Chains A and B, each alone.
Chain A
Amino acid sequence: MNREALAQVYDGHAAPLYRFLCGYLGNRDDAADALQNVFVNLARRGLQGIADIDDYLWTAARHEAHKQGRRRQAPFLVPSDGQAADPADRQAVESALLCLPGEQREVVILHVLEDLTFNEVGKRLGIPANTAASRFRYAKEKLKEVEV
C-alpha cells in the first residue's frame, strides 16, 4: 500500500479515531500509539478485501483500544469553547469517564463527545441501536453513582 493511499485514508478517518482512542484510553500518547498500530496493520494488510474502510478502521481502533487497556491517565479532554478549564473539574470528568466499563465508555464517547446518534453509535460499534442506548443508560446510572 503506498504512502499516498495511506495518507488519503489517514486524512479522511484519523481525527475521529484519535478522539475516540483518547477518550477510551485516557491519554494522548496511548491514543497516538494505538492509532499508529491501526495504520501499521492496515499498511501491512493492504486495502484488498476491505469492503468498508470506515468499518474496518473503527473495528481495528476498538480492538487496539481493548488490547491496550488503560495504562495511565493524563489530561486528555479540552474545553470545547477554548477557554481555560479548572484542572480539578476536568480531572473529575476524565476520571468519571474512565471509570466506566469499556463498552459503556465507548458509547458515551461517541454519543456525548462526538455527538453521534444511537443509530450511528450502533453502526460504528457493530451493535444494535437499542443496545447502544441501553449501554448509555447504564453509563448514566454509573455516572450518577460517582456524582458527576
Chain B
Amino acid sequence: MTRYCLPDPPPELRERILDAACAAAEARPRRTWGMLSVAAALLVCCGVVAVVVVGPRQASTPAGPQDRVAKLIEQLDSEDPGERDRASADLIKIGKPALEQLQAMKEFGSAEQKERVEGVIRTIAAAVRLDNIEFQLAGSDRWFAGGRSFINFTVVNRNDAQVIISRELSIVIAPVGEPDRPCAIGGEFSDSFRPDCILVRQTQAFVALPANSRTEVSPSDEREGMDYFFWTPPKAGKYAVSVKYRYSRREFASRCPGTDKNCRHDDPAQPWNLALEGERTLQIEVVVPADSFPALIERLDSDSPDERDRASAELMKWGQVALDRLEAIKDFKSPEQKARAQSIIRTLRLNGMSFQLVWKEAPRVGGNPEIFIVISNRFGEEMVLSRAMTVTIVPVDELEKPCDIKYEHLDGFRCCVLGFDAGRFVAVPANSRMEAAITGLRKGDYWWEPQKAGKYKISIGYAFSRKDFVGRCRGGFKDCRHDDPAQPWNRAIEGKRTVIETEVEVKE
C-alpha cells in the first residue's frame, strides 16, 4: 500500500511570499499607540483603571508599487522640466516606501537625475525623521514628601513606535521658582559620549536623565520603550518636571572626537548622523501636598472608626503610591490595621490593571478582525489573567439570549470557550493562565468572525473568587493544588469587575 505525505512548499513560493509580506509591511497603517500608552500610564499612575478602546485602523496611504517608483525615477531624467518636477514631488509624496529604491540607485542617466534623486532622498529622510517624534510625559498626581513615585515618559518615533532617544534626553525636576539650579546627581552612569550623563532611579530634588544608551537609531528602528523613573520629593511644594530633547550634530562631533572608535563621523548610517537635530521641551507641574503619607497608615489603627474609614478612603486615592507602601509593611500594629491594609491592597491591585481592546481591522461580515486584548498589570507590563476573564461579543438586539457556543475547549477548571472560528458570540476566558506572577508577561490575540452586520456589544470582565474556584475544582484534578500557595489560583487577585464595555458597528 502506498504511503503518502504532504508536499513541501515549492522554492519559488518563498520569494513570492517575502515580496508580498515586505510590500504589506511598507504599506502598514500608522498606529495610535503614543497617546494611548501615556493615557494608560497616567491612569495607572493615578490608580485608575485605564480602559482604552482603539478604533479600527484607518486605511493607509497606498504603498508606492515598485514599478511606479521606478517610473518616477525614470521621469527625473525626462527632457520636460515640468515632468521632472512633478516626478520629484510625487516621489516625495510617496515618501518612505520609495526610499529603498531611491537609495539603491547606483547609475544615473544624468547629473541632474543624480542630484534630484539625492535631493528627494534628503527630503524624504528628513521628513520621516521629523515627522512624528513626540514626547509625552505623565506623572502620578499623588506625591508625598519622602515617598517614591513614578513619572512616565514616552517618546514616539515617526513609525508610531515608542523609542527611547535617551542619550539626548534630559529630565529635570526642580522646585517651581528654582528651575535653573544645577542638577544634583544621585547616581552616575557614564557612557562613551557624554560623561555628564547620569541615570537616576531615586533622587532627591533633581533628576537629569539622558538615561541608558540609545539614540534614535534609524527610520526603521522600532525599539520599544516607555520608560519611567522614580522620584522622591524631599518636601511639600510645587515642582516643575521637564523633559528636554536637544541634539546638535556639531556639538556631538566636538564632544566625541573622531579618534574615538565609537563615534564614526564618516558613517552616515550611525545614529548620531541620523538623529533629529533640534530642541524640544515638555513640562508638567506637580504638587507635593503637605499631608504625610505615613500618618495616614497610622490612622488606619485609630480608635475612631470614622477616622479609620477616612484614612482608608484617603489611602485609596493614592493608588500606586499607597500600594507600594502598604505592600512593604511587614508588621501591623493591630488586626484591624492589617485587615484594612489588605483590603486596600486587593482593591488597588485590581484597579491597577489596565485593559485595552485593540482591533486590527474594522469588523465586517465574514471578516476576521483580530482582537488584541492587552492586559497590563500595575507596573505596565502586559499579561493575561485569562482563566478568570471572559469576553463576550453579542448583537445589541440579542443581549438577553444565551451565548451560542460553537467551538468548545474544555480545560480542567471551567468549560472555557476559545473564540476561534466562533459565530455570533464569542466567550473567551482565553488561553489558560491567571496572573502567574506579578511580572508575568502574556498577551492574547483572538479572532472574531461576525456573521451579520449591525451593532455588537463587547464586554470584557474579570471575576475570580478562590472559594468558587475551589468549589469548581474540588481537588479532583491534578492541576489544581490548593495546598500550594505558589499556584496562580492561590495568588490571583480576588474580585469582580467589568473592565470594558463598548459597542462596535459591523459593516457588510
Contacts and interface: CB of A to CB of B under 8 A. Distances in A.
Interface of A: 1-3, 6-7, 10-11, 14-15, 18-20, 22-23, 28, 32, 35-36, 39-46, 48-49, 51, 56, 59, 62-63, 66-67, 76-81, 83, 85-86, 89-90, 93, 109, 113-114, 126-128, 131
A70 to B, nearest CB: 14
B3 A81 contact: yes
Given A2-B220, A78-B7, A80-B3, A44 B20 contact: no
Given A49-B382, A51-B443, A78 B5 contact: yes
A105 to B, nearest CB: 12
A46 to B, nearest CB: 7
Interface of B: 2-10, 13-14, 16-18, 20-22, 24-25, 28, 161, 220, 222, 224, 360, 368, 370, 382, 409-411, 418, 420-421, 431, 441-443, 445, 447, 449
Given A23-B6, A63-B447, A78-B7, 5 more contacts: A35-B17, A39-B20, A44-B28, A48-B224, A131-B410
A43 B6 contact: no
A83 to B, nearest CB: 7
A19 B4 contact: no
A126 B431 CA distance: 8
Contact of B4 (A11, A44, A78): A78
A90 B13 CA distance: 24
Contacts of B420: 59, 62-63, 66, 126
Contacts of B3: 79-81
Contacts of B28: 43-44
B13 A6 contact: no
Contacts of B368: 63, 67
A77 B4 contact: yes
A51 B14 contact: no
Classify the secondary structure of A's interface with B: helix
Nearest to B8: A15
A42 B370 CA distance: 12
A75 to B, nearest CB: 10
Contacts of B20: 36, 39-40
Contacts, number: 132
Nearest to B161: A48
Nearest to B443: A49
B25 A43 contact: yes
A44 B409 CA distance: 29
Contacts of A113: 4-6
B6 A19 contact: yes
Contacts of A77: 4-7
A43 B22 contact: yes
Classify the secondary structure of B's interface with A: loop
B15 to A, nearest CB: 9
A39 B18 contact: yes
A39 B18 CA distance: 8
B101 to A, nearest CB: 14
Nearest to A78: B7
A35 B6 contact: no
Contact of B24 (A28, A43, A131): A43
Given A7-B18, A14-B14, A76 B7 contact: yes
Nearest to A2: B220
A78 to B, nearest CB: 5
A112 to B, nearest CB: 10
A44 B24 contact: yes
B372 to A, nearest CB: 8
The 8 closest A-B pairs by CB, nearest first: A43-B21, A19-B6, A43-B25, A18-B9, A77-B4, A80-B5, A39-B21, A40-B24
A32 B3 CA distance: 23
A15 B14 CA distance: 10
Nearest to A90: B4
Contacts of B442: 51
User: For B21, B421, B431, which residue has the most chain A Cβ atoms within 10 angstroms?
Assistant: B21
A22 B7 contact: yes
Contacts of B441: 51
Contacts of A43: 21-22, 24-25, 28
A22 B6 contact: yes
B22 to A, nearest CB: 5
Nearest to B162: A48
A36 B17 contact: yes
A121 B400 CA distance: 37
A83 B1 CA distance: 12
Nearest to A40: B24
Nearest to A50: B443
Nearest to B223: A48
29 contacts: A2-B220, A6-B25, A7-B14, A10-B14, A14-B14, A19-B5, A32-B9, A32-B13, A32-B17, A36-B16, A36-B20, A36-B21, A39-B20, A40-B20, A40-B24, A41-B370, A45-B360, A46-B222, A59-B420, A66-B421, A79-B4, A79-B5, A80-B5, A81-B3, A89-B2, A90-B2, A113-B4, A113-B5, A126-B420
